[in-house]
A and B are shown apart, each in its own frame.
Chain A
Amino acid sequence: MDQLLGMAFDVFRAAGNGIESIAQAGDRGIIAHTIDYISRRSDLILELMLEHLWLVVLTLIIAVTISVTVGIIISYYESFAQTVLGICQVLMVIPSMAMLAFMVPLFGIGFTTGVVALVLYSLLPVVRNTYTGIRELDPAIVEAAKGMGMTERRILFKIKIPLARPVIMAGVRTAAVMMIGIAAIAAYVGAGGLGELIFSGISRGHQPMIIAGAIGVSIIAIAFDYLFYYGEKRFSVEGSTREGN
């Protein structure tokens, strides 16, 4: 839930003054206008939603692949781990606008910049959870596997990753929800998606556009969060019969 709020915060911060003025003016016609706008431009909104979704999914796939790999590697090199986690931490606390701005000189304006920025942004939750998920496994389990003659590779894939999976997935969920919000801001550097509606709404003072964009982002975020929540619940139901050794 707090992730959702964080996401919403990001969007509203981006929408900034626009939203504020709506709230203050208390313009009753705004709801009707928004509904009207949405029904007129439903094609465009849907297209931007898909673009947004695509940006998030693609970034998530890349980020999770990198993060899980990094998390696994640093679980073997303790001395290395704190440095890597520190770097990820720094990447995450850079304000999103600043991060995007940094990327522009390197990758220009466009989709790629958005993807790269989002990937860098969302490394920490998954790297950290993969690392701690593996490190905090019961050492007796790993030692039993080793003592019976399993190779390190087999131990990783048959024992460590499956057992750390719930913790890793929790990290992925955090990353995903965070990403959906920041992806809206990525429209600022031309990455596309629902952020476009919001930003052009702001610059034109077109409130229904801003609201339509915010609603779209919220729908995606809620859908994602629900998906993960549901998935985790299924895991933990299974897990309750499996764990607790």
Chain B
Amino acid sequence: MIKLEGLTKVFKGHNIPAVKDLNLEVNEGDVCVLVGPSGCGKTTTMKMINRLYEPTGGKIYIRDEDVLQMDPIKLRLDIGYVIQEIGLFPHMTIYENIATVPNEKQWPKDQVKEKVDNVMSLVGLDPDVFKNRYPSALSGGQRQRVGVARAMVSDPSIMLMDEPFGAVDPITRARLQNEFLRIQERMDKTIVFVTHDIDEAIKMSDTIAVMKEGQLVQHATPSDLLSAPADEFVSNLVGRNRSIKRLHLIRISEILEDVDRAPAIKDDTKEEEVKKRLDESDLRTVIVVDRDNKLKGVVGVNDLKRKTGEVAGDYYQEVSDTVTDDATLNDALSVMLEIGEGYVAVVNEDEKYQGTITLGDLLNVVREES
């Protein structure tokens, strides 16, 4: 789908090339992550693909078409682009920001409106709430969502994303990553994704291209990269805790069915039954859900002692955080550490309870994989 051949860029006045003889092929529907230390030429490579930078040498093909022969404006209109600094237009509303490409393509107004509303919902921004706001009134995470929405509003088959989740805290980043992977599963776009964070690379990618000083060091699936790093540089990059890194590669949903754990109780369960279920539980706690299987909270032994009502719904404790079933095991681990518990409740997109996983479950996975 995207093919780079001997791609080279030497900036004016520099004698060392920023990108040197880069050969890379990205298959249709794949997420290829360019990873490497700051200044290794990731952004430069990406900007050559949409011709913000003209290559000094080499070729770029998209669907076997020579990019360097194409009209740059047309090329860019058909490639979704998320720039490293987000670059929202501060004088335009969120709606106007996202509508940029459709407006450039002169789509009819009602079609633009429909698409903008759709893509805003897709990235988790309620159109009615955010449409008329200006970027300055948004949090960092919300701005990054707008940046992504703006890049994908016209449904381009190719997207270039330069550290799209770079400027937010780790928890928000994990959430944005998971949401994006969920979207990508449906959209199946061909994506070149830049990051300097190897964990993010492992999590987001179908293939990883490791770069060093402008050159490609290794291009492999994340699993192969972890098990067979090409050289010292790559093995240093992936680090010593390779088995823990594998937690990035596994989704919670993949292990949830193998976890054998007592099911949750309904919020109208009486004391006797709660006691019985607590005794059976390996966690000394039991999850409480409502009639629709929505997560309410958790009851521990102490809650039962100090109970303030007849049924579990009267005295459960709320949980401080949950994970979704499409999150990775590593996300689950982060949340457990964050909330200081040895377990975390798993919910799906609609907040329905799916199960609980524990530190022990994660340990088992690490043990099996290594």
List residues of A whose CB falls within 8 A of some B CB: 138, 140-141, 143-151, 154, 159, 162-163, 241-245
Measured CA separation A140–B104 after assembly (Å) = 19
Min C-beta distance of B221 to chain A, whole Å: 29
| Cross-chain contact A150 with B87 (CB below 8 angstroms) | no
Using CB atoms, name the residue of chain A closest to B83: A144
Asked if B74 lies at the interface with its beta carbon under 8 angstroms from chain A, I say yes
A-side contacts of B77, CB under 8 Å: 148-149
Cβ contacts under 8 Å, B134 to chain A: 241-242
> Interface readout for B153-186 with A: 1 if CB under 8 Å, 0 if not?
0000000000000000000000000000000000
Assess whether B89 is interfacial by the CB under 8 Å rule. yes
User: Can you give 16 contacting A-B residue pairs, CB < 8 Å?
Assistant: A138-B87, A141-B87, A144-B83, A144-B86, A146-B52, A147-B76, A148-B81, A148-B101, A149-B101, A149-B104, A162-B91, A241-B137, A243-B91, A243-B136, A245-B88, A245-B143
Please tell me if the beta carbons of B90 and A242 are within 8 angstroms of each other in the complex: yes
Indicate if the CB atoms of A150 and B104 lie closer than 8 Å: yes
Check if B135 is an interface residue, CB within 8 A of chain A.
yes
Contact across chains for A149 and B74 when beta carbons are under 8 A apart: yes
Contact A245 B73 (CB under 8 A): no
Residues in chain B near residue A159, CB distance under 8 A: 89
One digit per residue, 1 when the CB lies within 8 angstroms of any chain A CB and 0 when it does not, for chain B 75-106 equals 11110010111111111000000001100100
Closest 9 pairs (CB-CB, A-B): A144-B87, A149-B77, A140-B85, A149-B76, A140-B87, A245-B90, A147-B81, A244-B136, A144-B83
Contacts of A242 on B, CB cut-off 8 Å? 90-91, 134, 136
Return the contact of B50 from the options A138, A147, A162, A245 (Cβ within 8 A): A147
Residue of B78, B91, B104, B150 with highest tally of chain A CB at under 10 A: B91
Which residues of the partner chain A approach B150 to less than 8 Å between Cβ atoms? 148
Residue ID in chain A nearest B153 by CB atoms: A148
CB closest chain-B residue, reference A163: B91
Most buried by A among B76, B87, B100, B135: B87
Complex CA gap A145/B83 in Å reads: 10
Residues from chain B with Cβ under 8 Å of A245 in the complex: 88, 90, 135-136, 143
The listed residue (A148, A163, A243) touching B104 by CB distance below 8 A is A148
- Not counting A145-B89, A149-B74, A163-B91, a sample of 8 additional A-B residue pairs whose C-beta atoms are within 8 angstroms of each other reads A141-B88, A143-B52, A143-B87, A144-B83, A144-B87, A149-B73, A151-B73, A245-B135
